[in-house]
Structure 1
Amino acid sequence: MGDLLQNINTVLKKHNDNIYKNGENFNIYSLLGLERQENNTHSKIIAELLSPDGSHGQGDLFLQLFLSEIYGECYLTKDFIRVTRECYCGQIDKNSENGGRIDILIENGNKQWMIENKIDAVEQYKQLERYHNKFPNGELLFLTMTGYQSSYHKELSEKKISYKCISYQDTICNWLEKCTTKLEKNSNKLYLKTAIQQYHNLIKNMNNKGINQEKQMEIVDEIKANIEASFEIKTLFNRAVEEILQDLSDEISDFLGLKEINSTNWNKYFTKDNWGNLAIGFEHEGYSVFLGICTIDNSKELNPIIHDKLKSFQQEINDELGTVSWRCWKYFIETNDEENYVKRFISNSEKKKYLIENLKTFADYLDKICI
């Protein structure tokens, strides 16, 4: 088993060394810390490429390729074409059924395509429904890293609101590949092609698609040659992850002077005796990890004064409402499956540091109000 892991690490090291020597690690978006910013990076770049009036100077070429990638053919007509980023639809009403901002709106004559872009942000309540209500005959495109469904898929289906899942790892990567292919024969477009390739490489790295086919086959060969050890690793992998999570819990408990309660593998909660029926913690639910102040027993009434203070504190944190279970909370990270939960959270020292710092903020606030 040790040989298998060592051999795979050797393959990965060789692959990473080649990437380093070829300069592929140099990515301007990563250097500037912009790789996961939905609106300030991805929506801006995608909207600019899609716009016929974009600085790329290619007219509606990239928009045609985009629609062809999704639908198999281009649906553009000769009518006017407009691409708007952060399209304002009015204030969100009290029922959350109207208003908000559409990340990218494409208009062609009487047709509309609405792109909701989700990388790290939590999907808002009735978000897709609001955009459907704004353009009932428009096409809703739900763009995520891997093409997963909306958190409100069941509710949307019941209301007969359809949407199409598209992904960065397939739809956007394939589209960008087609864009650069179209530019290859024109030497005057080298600068534009290089810029698109940089963005393409960024997305591939975000989706762990940077490893090439040759190196993938080397790893597959190692697994095939050590199949028994591979199954043993697969069997024990979840246990290793559980132990890593427990180590994190112990670190949080020790650092903040708290005791862990009612925790599961993926959800962790901590409290103090003087906090009464309140605790802090983090949960992995659906496609998101969030953290905050939660109630230990939802059936118990909360002191009205503390209730009001927590409500005010939640308003300082974000625009989302607190719940009976989570009085104050904030979104932490988007992770569509347990594998990404491990890669992007548990094994990321910066994310762990950020988690502990934020939990300390919540703990300090409970210490302040629970006297």
Structure 2
Amino acid sequence: MLNELVMTDDLVEVVSQAREKANKHGERFNIFSILRVHRNEAETHSRFLHELLNPQGRHGEGSVFLQLFLKGVLGIQHSCEGRYRVSRELATEEKRRVDMVIESPTDIVGIELKIDAADQKAQLHDYYHELQRRAEGEKAVTLAYLTLHGKRPSTISLQGLSTDEVVCLSFAYDISNWLQKCIDRSQHKPAVAHAIQQYRQLIRNLSGNGGTMNDLVAGELKSDVERFKEALHVEKSLLKAKASVQEVFWQELRAALEAKFGITPSVYGGKSIRTISAGYYTKNRNSKHIGIKVPVCQVENRNIFLYVNLYHAVHYGLRVEDESGAVVSSPDLREMVRKEMGKGNAFADREASWLVCYYYNPAAGDNEKIINFYDFNGAAVGLLDDEIRRSLIEDMVAHQVELAAKAKTLGSK
């Protein structure tokens, strides 16, 4: 299937020129993206914004950046020079944590920021009432909801709170414009200005306003009918090519697991590896849970299986099945497994249906080994290389065998 993918010389030239333009001033060299922390809400975005807003921040500019934010973004005109306190992860009475809080003798501002995380039940409702409680009727309360494009919060988060009581801000417009003002005001400190510029470029890239290669290619295609037609043919072939890469991955992973466990892993989400691979790129978002599984052992008369699952990224771990083959939650067994093995590093690890779940072996890997077939990231592309693919599968299977062995020890206790 891969040889069906044909890129004309004209399209190759469009992509090549766009890549050069997108990096004309070194835009691709972004420290946040290089370190793969570009989407981390708490440890990247919250920390960096707090450092800029904090009058005692290491930028050494006092409350200059804070005043630009309060006046230019929130429209708060009161000036209490040197009397602001900016904090992170402020605990509420409901044991939640407000991402950032700015407090002065006249105002209290709470900021909840979202990059990928979903709204939680009554989240903004609880934050607003916590700010009111702390204001004690003597300070103006402002609750800001900061997202990439300034979307409105969900009703589940508001829980009856009026939308008029929440200020919706966007990284793409409000924060980007504020950051530019901070850059302009810090030109006398090149290191500070460059750091803010790097973060602003990150924001522009995340929000689709950064003049990325994809943006430039799209601009070229939409203005040329023939090139657009050529791209449509490539798009159709690309889905088949992606499915082909995924099929090879599943086939080799299945063979490797069979060699280790002596049992042929069964396929779920479709009749065969070929059908689940081909269907992955045509099914709707909620029908993408596919993979293979193999029985491991019994613990307290419960059937433990090793699952290798794909939604967006490949993740694997231990699950319990009932007699009908359905996955069931086992809180007590989950607790037992986690005491023995610790927590997993996959997003699905928080779900009760997984005893433990991983993207990769934390003792021998990092985020570079996360295979995301939905976005078709670098690790997924790397599967086209026979040596890289074998190495990734070997590492994954070695860890899966280790998990199965630990599960068996639990069953023998």
Q: TM-score, normalised by structure 2?
A: 0.63
Following superposition, the deviation at residue 60 of structure 1 comes to 3.9
Number of equivalences: 349
Partner of 1:95: none
Following superposition, the deviation at residue 216 of structure 1 comes to 5.2
Other structure's SS at 1:317 match: coil
Distance in 2, matches of 1:196 and 1:190, equals 10
Following superposition, the deviation at residue 46 of structure 1 comes to 1.0
The answer to which of 276-285 and 120-129 deviates more is 120-129
The one-letter amino acid paired with 2:222 is V
Residue 280 (structure 1) aligned to one of 288, 307, 317 = 307
1:102 matched to 2:105? The reply is: no
Q: 1:317 to 1:279 in 2, by over 3 A?
A: same
Distance in 1, matches of 2:295 and 2:233, equals 42
Partner of 1:194: 194
Partner of 1:112: 108
Following superposition, the deviation at residue 329 of structure 1 comes to 3.8
1:342 matched to 2:375? The reply is: yes
1:174 matched to 2:177? The reply is: yes
Following superposition, the deviation at residue 147 of structure 1 comes to 5.4
Following superposition, the deviation at residue 58 of structure 1 comes to 4.1
Q: Deviations over 1:212-260 (max 9, x none)?
A: 77665334334x3333334444555555544444444334323433624
The answer to which of 81-90 and 294-303 deviates more is 294-303
Q: Deviations over 1:109-136 (max 9, x none)?
A: 4543333344466777765555345325
The one-letter amino acid paired with 2:406 is K
Partner of 1:94: none
Partner of 1:312: 336
Q: 1:142 to 1:226 in 2, by over 3 A?
A: same
Q: 1:314 to 1:168 in 2, by over 3 A?
A: farther
Partner of 2:222: 220
Contact 2:51 2:57 in 1 (8 A): yes
Following superposition, the deviation at residue 75 of structure 1 comes to 1.9
* 1:184-333 equivalent positions in 2, closer than 5 A: 188-206=188-206, 209-211=210-212, 217-222=219-224, 224-235=225-236, 238-257=239-258, 259-263=265-269, 265=280, 266-275=288-297, 276=303, 278-282=305-309, 284=311, 292-296=317-321, 308-314=332-338, 316-317=342-343, 325-329=353-357
* 1:39-78 equivalent positions in 2, closer than 5 A: 39-67=42-70, 74-78=75-79
Q: 1:194 to 1:77 in 2, by over 3 A?
A: same
Residue 87 (structure 1) aligned to one of 85, 90, 93 = 90
Q: 1:233 to 1:68 in 2, by over 3 A?
A: farther
The one-letter amino acid paired with 1:327 is L
Contact 2:295 2:305 in 1 (8 A): no
Q: 1:178 to 1:89 in 2, by over 3 A?
A: same
Q: 1:242 to 1:260 in 2, by over 3 A?
A: farther
Following superposition, the deviation at residue 142 of structure 1 comes to 4.3
Higher gyration radius (CA): 2
The answer to which of 6-15 and 315-324 deviates more is 315-324
Q: What are the ranges of 5 or more consecutive residues in structure 1 without an aligned counterpart?
A: 91-97
Q: 1:12 to 1:122 in 2, by over 3 A?
A: same
Q: 1:4 to 1:112 in 2, by over 3 A?
A: farther
Distance in 2, matches of 1:251 and 1:146, equals 41
Distance in 1, matches of 2:145 and 2:306, equals 35
Contact 1:144 1:168 in 2 (8 A): yes
Q: What are the ranges of 5 or more consecutive residues in structure 2 without an aligned counterpart?
A: 134-140, 259-263, 270-275, 281-287, 298-302, 361-365, 384-388
Partner of 1:366: 404
Q: TM-score, normalised by structure 1?
A: 0.68
The one-letter amino acid paired with 1:282 is N
Contact 1:269 1:279 in 2 (8 A): no
Distance in 1, matches of 2:95 and 2:32, equals 31
RMSD of aligned residue pairs (Cα, Å): 4.8
